[in-house]
Structure 1
Amino acid sequence: MASSSNPTGESSRRIVDEEVSVLWDLNTCPVTDHYYLTKIVDSIENSLNDLHRNNPKLYPKLRLSSTRIVCGDKKNFGTTGTRILKNQGFDPFYAVERGNGCSQHRRAKSTEPAADCLLETYALRYAEFRPRPHPPRNILFITSDYRFHATMDNFFRGNHLIFLAYKCRTSHPNFGLHTNFGWDWEDMELGQNGLKIDNFTLPGV
Protein backbone atom coordinates (compact mmCIF):
# COMPACT_ATOMS: atom_id res chain seq x y z
CA MET A 1 0.00 0.00 0.00
CA ALA A 2 2.11 2.83 -1.22
CA SER A 3 1.43 6.16 0.42
CA SER A 4 2.82 7.97 -2.62
CA SER A 5 -0.46 7.32 -4.46
CA ASN A 6 -2.51 8.87 -1.66
CA PRO A 7 -2.32 12.65 -1.22
CA THR A 8 -2.22 13.68 2.41
CA GLY A 9 -4.01 17.02 2.19
CA GLU A 10 -7.04 17.49 4.41
CA SER A 11 -9.50 17.34 1.49
CA SER A 12 -8.14 13.94 0.43
CA ARG A 13 -8.49 12.57 3.94
CA ARG A 14 -12.24 12.97 4.12
CA ILE A 15 -14.30 9.79 4.25
CA VAL A 16 -16.91 10.25 1.54
CA ASP A 17 -19.07 7.16 2.16
CA GLU A 18 -20.89 6.92 5.49
CA GLU A 19 -21.49 3.16 5.33
CA VAL A 20 -19.09 0.43 6.45
CA SER A 21 -19.39 -3.20 5.34
CA VAL A 22 -18.36 -5.93 7.79
CA LEU A 23 -16.41 -9.19 7.40
CA TRP A 24 -16.19 -10.81 10.84
CA ASP A 25 -14.13 -13.82 11.93
CA LEU A 26 -16.00 -15.00 15.01
CA ASN A 27 -13.41 -17.67 15.81
CA THR A 28 -10.70 -15.15 16.59
CA CYS A 29 -12.92 -12.28 17.73
CA PRO A 30 -15.83 -13.75 19.71
CA VAL A 31 -18.24 -11.76 21.84
CA THR A 32 -18.01 -12.21 25.60
CA ASP A 33 -21.68 -13.06 26.17
CA HIS A 34 -25.14 -12.72 24.66
CA TYR A 35 -25.81 -9.44 26.48
CA TYR A 36 -23.06 -7.72 24.52
CA LEU A 37 -24.07 -9.55 21.35
CA THR A 38 -27.56 -8.00 21.49
CA LYS A 39 -25.90 -4.58 21.40
CA ILE A 40 -23.10 -5.39 18.97
CA VAL A 41 -24.24 -3.16 16.08
CA ASP A 42 -24.55 -0.15 18.39
CA SER A 43 -21.21 -1.03 19.99
CA ILE A 44 -19.39 -1.30 16.66
CA GLU A 45 -20.91 1.91 15.33
CA ASN A 46 -20.10 3.75 18.55
CA SER A 47 -16.46 2.69 18.29
CA LEU A 48 -16.24 3.55 14.59
CA ASN A 49 -17.50 7.00 15.40
CA ASP A 50 -14.46 7.68 17.54
CA LEU A 51 -13.26 9.14 14.24
CA HIS A 52 -16.22 11.52 13.93
CA ARG A 53 -15.98 12.60 17.56
CA ASN A 54 -12.26 13.26 17.23
CA ASN A 55 -12.55 15.20 13.97
CA PRO A 56 -16.09 15.77 12.62
CA LYS A 57 -14.71 17.99 9.88
CA LEU A 58 -12.86 15.09 8.25
CA TYR A 59 -14.93 12.09 9.28
CA PRO A 60 -18.71 11.76 8.91
CA LYS A 61 -20.84 9.79 11.32
CA LEU A 62 -20.49 6.16 10.21
CA ARG A 63 -23.02 3.34 10.18
CA LEU A 64 -22.90 -0.31 9.17
CA SER A 65 -24.06 -1.20 5.68
CA SER A 66 -26.39 -4.09 4.89
CA THR A 67 -23.33 -6.24 4.08
CA ARG A 68 -22.67 -7.93 7.44
CA ILE A 69 -20.94 -11.28 7.05
CA VAL A 70 -19.83 -13.32 10.06
CA CYS A 71 -18.03 -16.68 9.85
CA GLY A 72 -17.17 -19.08 12.65
CA ASP A 73 -17.45 -22.48 14.25
CA LYS A 74 -20.97 -23.58 15.14
CA LYS A 75 -20.03 -23.85 18.80
CA ASN A 76 -19.00 -20.18 18.77
CA PHE A 77 -22.41 -19.15 17.43
CA GLY A 78 -24.82 -21.35 19.33
CA THR A 79 -28.54 -21.31 18.58
CA THR A 80 -29.19 -18.16 20.58
CA GLY A 81 -26.15 -16.37 19.20
CA THR A 82 -27.16 -17.16 15.63
CA ARG A 83 -30.65 -15.79 16.23
CA ILE A 84 -29.31 -12.60 17.81
CA LEU A 85 -26.90 -12.01 14.93
CA LYS A 86 -29.61 -12.58 12.31
CA ASN A 87 -31.90 -10.17 14.15
CA GLN A 88 -29.19 -7.54 13.80
CA GLY A 89 -28.79 -8.05 10.08
CA PHE A 90 -25.76 -10.35 10.04
CA ASP A 91 -25.45 -13.29 7.66
CA PRO A 92 -23.84 -16.14 9.65
CA PHE A 93 -21.78 -18.84 7.94
CA TYR A 94 -20.35 -21.87 9.71
CA ALA A 95 -16.71 -22.88 9.50
CA VAL A 96 -14.85 -25.31 11.74
CA GLU A 97 -12.26 -23.80 14.04
CA ARG A 98 -8.97 -25.64 13.62
CA GLY A 99 -5.25 -25.05 13.73
CA ASN A 100 -2.77 -24.97 10.88
CA GLY A 101 -0.05 -27.27 12.20
CA CYS A 102 1.08 -30.31 10.23
CA SER A 103 -0.64 -32.56 12.74
CA GLN A 104 -3.94 -31.19 11.50
CA HIS A 105 -3.32 -32.60 8.03
CA ARG A 106 -2.99 -36.11 9.42
CA ARG A 107 -6.46 -35.95 10.86
CA ALA A 108 -9.70 -36.64 9.03
CA LYS A 109 -10.64 -33.71 6.85
CA SER A 110 -13.54 -31.61 8.03
CA THR A 111 -16.64 -31.40 5.86
CA GLU A 112 -16.61 -27.63 6.42
CA PRO A 113 -13.86 -25.19 5.40
CA ALA A 114 -11.54 -23.52 7.87
CA ALA A 115 -12.84 -20.18 9.08
CA ASP A 116 -10.05 -18.16 7.54
CA CYS A 117 -10.64 -19.71 4.11
CA LEU A 118 -14.39 -19.18 4.33
CA LEU A 119 -14.06 -15.52 5.23
CA GLU A 120 -11.56 -15.08 2.40
CA THR A 121 -14.17 -16.56 0.06
CA TYR A 122 -16.80 -14.05 1.10
CA ALA A 123 -14.29 -11.24 0.84
CA LEU A 124 -13.68 -12.22 -2.78
CA ARG A 125 -17.40 -12.47 -3.46
CA TYR A 126 -17.87 -9.04 -1.94
CA ALA A 127 -15.15 -7.66 -4.21
CA GLU A 128 -16.79 -9.16 -7.31
CA PHE A 129 -20.48 -8.70 -6.51
CA ARG A 130 -21.72 -5.33 -5.36
CA PRO A 131 -25.27 -5.02 -4.02
CA ARG A 132 -25.53 -1.35 -5.03
CA PRO A 133 -24.37 0.67 -8.04
CA HIS A 134 -21.96 2.48 -5.74
CA PRO A 135 -21.12 0.16 -2.85
CA PRO A 136 -19.51 1.19 0.40
CA ARG A 137 -15.83 1.78 -0.08
CA ASN A 138 -15.28 1.30 3.64
CA ILE A 139 -14.76 -2.24 4.90
CA LEU A 140 -14.33 -3.41 8.48
CA PHE A 141 -12.43 -6.62 9.12
CA ILE A 142 -13.06 -8.06 12.57
CA THR A 143 -10.34 -10.65 12.99
CA SER A 144 -7.18 -11.37 14.93
CA ASP A 145 -5.85 -13.63 12.16
CA TYR A 146 -2.82 -11.88 10.68
CA ARG A 147 -3.11 -13.97 7.52
CA PHE A 148 -5.86 -11.63 6.36
CA HIS A 149 -3.35 -8.82 5.88
CA ALA A 150 -2.83 -9.67 2.19
CA THR A 151 -6.58 -9.49 1.54
CA MET A 152 -6.75 -6.17 3.36
CA ASP A 153 -3.87 -4.87 1.23
CA ASN A 154 -5.72 -5.90 -1.93
CA PHE A 155 -8.88 -4.08 -0.86
CA PHE A 156 -6.79 -0.99 -0.12
CA ARG A 157 -5.32 -1.13 -3.61
CA GLY A 158 -8.90 -1.41 -4.89
CA ASN A 159 -9.64 2.01 -3.40
CA HIS A 160 -11.22 0.85 -0.15
CA LEU A 161 -10.58 2.32 3.26
CA ILE A 162 -9.67 -0.46 5.65
CA PHE A 163 -11.03 -0.64 9.18
CA LEU A 164 -9.74 -3.35 11.52
CA ALA A 165 -10.89 -4.58 14.92
CA TYR A 166 -8.51 -7.11 16.47
CA LYS A 167 -7.23 -8.31 19.81
CA CYS A 168 -4.22 -6.08 20.22
CA ARG A 169 -2.76 -8.11 23.10
CA THR A 170 -2.52 -11.37 21.18
CA SER A 171 -2.39 -10.47 17.47
CA HIS A 172 0.70 -10.17 15.30
CA PRO A 173 2.49 -6.90 16.19
CA ASN A 174 2.53 -5.81 12.53
CA PHE A 175 -1.19 -6.30 11.92
CA GLY A 176 -1.90 -2.63 12.47
CA LEU A 177 0.38 -1.68 9.58
CA HIS A 178 -2.21 -3.02 7.13
CA THR A 179 -5.19 -0.89 8.14
CA ASN A 180 -6.20 2.75 7.87
CA PHE A 181 -8.08 2.67 11.16
CA GLY A 182 -7.75 0.15 13.96
CA TRP A 183 -9.54 -0.66 17.20
CA ASP A 184 -8.95 -3.13 19.98
CA TRP A 185 -11.76 -5.68 19.61
CA GLU A 186 -11.91 -6.18 23.37
CA ASP A 187 -12.94 -2.52 23.62
CA MET A 188 -15.13 -2.43 20.52
CA GLU A 189 -17.33 -5.36 21.55
CA LEU A 190 -18.19 -3.37 24.68
CA GLY A 191 -18.82 -0.17 22.72
CA GLN A 192 -15.87 1.55 24.34
CA ASN A 193 -13.50 4.05 22.76
CA GLY A 194 -10.69 1.77 21.66
CA LEU A 195 -9.27 3.62 18.64
CA LYS A 196 -5.62 2.65 18.31
CA ILE A 197 -4.75 3.53 14.70
CA ASP A 198 -5.66 6.55 12.57
CA ASN A 199 -3.56 6.34 9.43
CA PHE A 200 -5.45 7.48 6.35
CA THR A 201 -2.49 6.77 4.07
CA LEU A 202 -0.62 3.56 4.68
CA PRO A 203 3.15 3.25 4.37
CA GLY A 204 4.94 1.01 1.91
CA VAL A 205 2.95 -2.23 1.91
Structure 2
Amino acid sequence: MSTVFVLQGNTMDQSMGPNFTIPSASLALFDILSVLFWTPVYDQLIVPLARKFTGHERGFTQLQRIGIGLLISIFSMVSAGILEVARLRYVRTHNLYDAKVVPMSIFWQVPQYFFVGCAEVFTFIGQLEFFYDQAPDAMRSLCSALALTTVALGNYLSTLLVTVVTKVTTTGGRAGWIADNLNRGHLDYYYWLLAVLSFLNFLVYLWIAKSYTYKKATGHAL
Protein backbone atom coordinates (compact mmCIF):
# COMPACT_ATOMS: atom_id res chain seq x y z
CA MET A 1 0.00 0.00 0.00
CA SER A 2 2.73 2.48 0.95
CA THR A 3 4.55 1.67 -2.30
CA VAL A 4 1.61 2.60 -4.52
CA PHE A 5 1.07 5.73 -2.43
CA VAL A 6 4.64 6.74 -3.27
CA LEU A 7 4.16 5.91 -6.96
CA GLN A 8 1.04 8.04 -7.00
CA GLY A 9 2.87 10.87 -5.26
CA ASN A 10 5.73 10.74 -7.77
CA THR A 11 3.33 11.88 -10.49
CA MET A 12 2.12 14.92 -8.51
CA ASP A 13 3.54 18.37 -7.80
CA GLN A 14 6.00 17.88 -4.93
CA SER A 15 7.10 21.50 -4.58
CA MET A 16 6.88 23.44 -1.34
CA GLY A 17 7.52 26.98 -2.40
CA PRO A 18 9.88 27.99 -5.22
CA ASN A 19 13.05 26.36 -3.90
CA PHE A 20 12.10 23.17 -2.10
CA THR A 21 10.76 19.82 -3.27
CA ILE A 22 9.45 17.19 -0.88
CA PRO A 23 10.09 13.51 -1.73
CA SER A 24 6.82 11.64 -2.09
CA ALA A 25 7.95 8.99 0.43
CA SER A 26 8.26 11.75 3.03
CA LEU A 27 4.49 12.05 3.22
CA ALA A 28 4.56 8.93 5.38
CA LEU A 29 5.31 11.50 8.08
CA PHE A 30 1.59 12.27 8.12
CA ASP A 31 0.95 8.64 9.04
CA ILE A 32 3.12 9.16 12.13
CA LEU A 33 1.54 12.54 12.89
CA SER A 34 -1.88 10.92 12.64
CA VAL A 35 -0.87 8.27 15.18
CA LEU A 36 0.44 10.99 17.51
CA PHE A 37 -2.82 12.89 17.10
CA TRP A 38 -5.25 10.01 17.50
CA THR A 39 -3.55 8.25 20.43
CA PRO A 40 -4.37 10.95 23.03
CA VAL A 41 -7.71 11.66 21.36
CA TYR A 42 -8.61 7.99 21.72
CA ASP A 43 -7.54 7.81 25.37
CA GLN A 44 -8.94 11.16 26.50
CA LEU A 45 -12.08 11.56 24.38
CA ILE A 46 -13.18 8.40 22.57
CA VAL A 47 -12.75 5.95 25.46
CA PRO A 48 -14.74 8.01 28.03
CA LEU A 49 -17.48 8.62 25.45
CA ALA A 50 -17.63 4.98 24.38
CA ARG A 51 -17.62 3.84 28.01
CA LYS A 52 -20.94 5.64 28.56
CA PHE A 53 -22.58 3.55 25.83
CA THR A 54 -20.81 0.20 26.20
CA GLY A 55 -20.19 0.13 29.95
CA HIS A 56 -16.79 -1.36 29.17
CA GLU A 57 -13.85 -0.10 31.22
CA ARG A 58 -11.72 0.44 28.10
CA GLY A 59 -14.56 1.82 26.00
CA PHE A 60 -14.28 -1.01 23.49
CA THR A 61 -13.18 -4.60 23.75
CA GLN A 62 -9.92 -5.47 22.01
CA LEU A 63 -11.75 -7.16 19.15
CA GLN A 64 -14.07 -4.18 18.71
CA ARG A 65 -11.07 -1.86 18.60
CA ILE A 66 -9.38 -4.00 15.95
CA GLY A 67 -12.59 -4.12 13.92
CA ILE A 68 -12.95 -0.34 13.98
CA GLY A 69 -9.38 -0.04 12.73
CA LEU A 70 -10.06 -2.45 9.87
CA LEU A 71 -13.11 -0.41 8.91
CA ILE A 72 -11.16 2.86 8.96
CA SER A 73 -8.47 1.37 6.73
CA ILE A 74 -11.10 0.98 4.00
CA PHE A 75 -11.59 4.75 4.02
CA SER A 76 -7.88 5.17 3.29
CA MET A 77 -8.25 3.13 0.09
CA VAL A 78 -11.41 5.02 -0.87
CA SER A 79 -9.65 8.35 -0.29
CA ALA A 80 -6.68 7.28 -2.43
CA GLY A 81 -9.02 6.01 -5.14
CA ILE A 82 -10.98 9.27 -5.27
CA LEU A 83 -7.74 11.23 -5.54
CA GLU A 84 -6.52 9.00 -8.39
CA VAL A 85 -9.82 9.43 -10.24
CA ALA A 86 -9.42 13.21 -9.96
CA ARG A 87 -5.78 13.02 -11.05
CA LEU A 88 -6.56 10.90 -14.12
CA ARG A 89 -9.46 13.19 -15.02
CA TYR A 90 -7.05 16.12 -14.95
CA VAL A 91 -4.64 14.16 -17.15
CA ARG A 92 -7.35 13.44 -19.72
CA THR A 93 -8.76 16.96 -19.67
CA HIS A 94 -5.38 18.60 -20.29
CA ASN A 95 -3.86 15.81 -22.41
CA LEU A 96 -1.00 15.22 -19.96
CA TYR A 97 -0.57 11.51 -20.65
CA ASP A 98 3.18 11.81 -21.15
CA ALA A 99 3.81 14.47 -18.49
CA LYS A 100 6.08 13.39 -15.67
CA VAL A 101 4.30 15.65 -13.18
CA VAL A 102 0.62 16.52 -13.02
CA PRO A 103 0.04 20.00 -11.54
CA MET A 104 -1.84 18.73 -8.50
CA SER A 105 -0.28 19.21 -5.07
CA ILE A 106 1.07 16.06 -3.46
CA PHE A 107 -0.53 17.21 -0.23
CA TRP A 108 -3.85 15.95 -1.57
CA GLN A 109 -2.48 12.60 -0.38
CA VAL A 110 -2.52 13.68 3.26
CA PRO A 111 -6.06 12.33 3.99
CA GLN A 112 -5.20 8.79 2.92
CA TYR A 113 -2.10 8.78 5.13
CA PHE A 114 -4.16 10.27 7.95
CA PHE A 115 -6.69 7.44 7.69
CA VAL A 116 -3.86 4.89 7.77
CA GLY A 117 -2.50 6.37 11.00
CA CYS A 118 -5.94 6.40 12.57
CA ALA A 119 -6.48 2.77 11.59
CA GLU A 120 -3.14 1.84 13.15
CA VAL A 121 -4.11 3.37 16.49
CA PHE A 122 -7.15 1.13 16.62
CA THR A 123 -5.88 -2.03 14.94
CA PHE A 124 -2.25 -2.43 16.00
CA ILE A 125 -2.70 -1.30 19.60
CA GLY A 126 -5.88 -3.34 19.93
CA GLN A 127 -4.06 -6.34 18.50
CA LEU A 128 -1.18 -6.01 20.95
CA GLU A 129 -3.63 -5.64 23.84
CA PHE A 130 -5.53 -8.70 22.66
CA PHE A 131 -2.46 -10.92 22.40
CA TYR A 132 -1.14 -9.76 25.77
CA ASP A 133 -4.44 -10.03 27.61
CA GLN A 134 -5.70 -13.28 26.09
CA ALA A 135 -2.45 -15.25 25.81
CA PRO A 136 -1.43 -17.74 28.52
CA ASP A 137 0.61 -16.00 31.20
CA ALA A 138 3.78 -17.87 30.23
CA MET A 139 3.43 -16.88 26.56
CA ARG A 140 2.50 -13.21 26.74
CA SER A 141 5.82 -11.88 25.45
CA LEU A 142 5.93 -14.43 22.65
CA CYS A 143 2.36 -13.77 21.55
CA SER A 144 2.89 -10.00 21.62
CA ALA A 145 5.88 -10.49 19.34
CA LEU A 146 3.87 -12.76 17.06
CA ALA A 147 1.38 -9.94 16.61
CA LEU A 148 4.01 -8.15 14.53
CA THR A 149 4.13 -11.06 12.09
CA THR A 150 0.83 -9.81 10.68
CA VAL A 151 2.72 -6.80 9.32
CA ALA A 152 5.28 -9.02 7.61
CA LEU A 153 2.56 -11.28 6.23
CA GLY A 154 0.69 -8.25 4.94
CA ASN A 155 3.78 -7.07 3.07
CA TYR A 156 4.19 -10.45 1.40
CA LEU A 157 0.51 -10.57 0.43
CA SER A 158 0.73 -7.02 -0.91
CA THR A 159 3.67 -7.98 -3.12
CA LEU A 160 1.80 -11.04 -4.34
CA LEU A 161 -1.31 -9.01 -5.10
CA VAL A 162 0.66 -6.42 -7.09
CA THR A 163 2.33 -9.21 -9.07
CA VAL A 164 -0.97 -10.92 -9.87
CA VAL A 165 -2.74 -7.67 -10.77
CA THR A 166 0.12 -6.59 -13.03
CA LYS A 167 0.23 -9.95 -14.79
CA VAL A 168 -3.52 -10.11 -15.34
CA THR A 169 -4.03 -6.48 -16.41
CA THR A 170 -1.10 -6.35 -18.85
CA THR A 171 -2.29 -9.24 -21.01
CA GLY A 172 -2.80 -8.44 -24.68
CA GLY A 173 -0.24 -5.64 -24.63
CA ARG A 174 -2.31 -3.40 -22.37
CA ALA A 175 -0.62 -0.86 -20.11
CA GLY A 176 -2.15 -2.44 -17.02
CA TRP A 177 -3.51 -0.89 -13.87
CA ILE A 178 -0.10 -0.18 -12.34
CA ALA A 179 1.63 0.95 -15.52
CA ASP A 180 5.14 2.33 -15.82
CA ASN A 181 3.40 5.54 -16.85
CA LEU A 182 0.59 5.89 -14.32
CA ASN A 183 -1.08 8.50 -16.52
CA ARG A 184 -1.89 5.68 -18.94
CA GLY A 185 -2.74 3.16 -16.24
CA HIS A 186 -5.63 2.73 -13.83
CA LEU A 187 -4.22 2.88 -10.33
CA ASP A 188 -7.70 3.88 -9.22
CA TYR A 189 -8.95 0.41 -10.14
CA TYR A 190 -6.26 -1.08 -7.91
CA TYR A 191 -7.38 1.10 -5.00
CA TRP A 192 -10.99 0.01 -5.53
CA LEU A 193 -9.83 -3.61 -5.52
CA LEU A 194 -8.02 -3.03 -2.23
CA ALA A 195 -11.12 -1.38 -0.77
CA VAL A 196 -13.30 -4.35 -1.76
CA LEU A 197 -10.78 -6.88 -0.41
CA SER A 198 -10.49 -4.88 2.82
CA PHE A 199 -14.27 -4.87 3.18
CA LEU A 200 -14.45 -8.63 2.62
CA ASN A 201 -11.66 -9.08 5.15
CA PHE A 202 -13.67 -6.97 7.60
CA LEU A 203 -16.75 -9.16 7.13
CA VAL A 204 -14.73 -12.35 7.67
CA TYR A 205 -13.19 -10.78 10.77
CA LEU A 206 -16.64 -9.97 12.18
CA TRP A 207 -17.81 -13.53 11.57
CA ILE A 208 -14.79 -15.01 13.37
CA ALA A 209 -14.71 -12.45 16.18
CA LYS A 210 -18.39 -13.02 16.96
CA SER A 211 -17.66 -16.60 17.99
CA TYR A 212 -14.63 -15.76 20.14
CA THR A 213 -14.90 -16.35 23.89
CA TYR A 214 -12.65 -14.17 26.02
CA LYS A 215 -10.30 -15.88 28.42
CA LYS A 216 -11.53 -13.84 31.37
CA ALA A 217 -15.26 -13.91 32.04
CA THR A 218 -15.76 -10.17 32.43
CA GLY A 219 -18.71 -9.72 30.13
CA HIS A 220 -16.58 -9.09 27.09
CA ALA A 221 -18.36 -9.50 23.80
CA LEU A 222 -17.89 -8.26 20.30
TM-score of the superposed pair, with normalisation by structure 1: 0.26
Q: Select the structure of larger CA radius of gyration.
A: 2
TM-score of the superposed pair, with normalisation by structure 2: 0.24
Which structure has more helix as a fraction of its residues?
Answer: 2
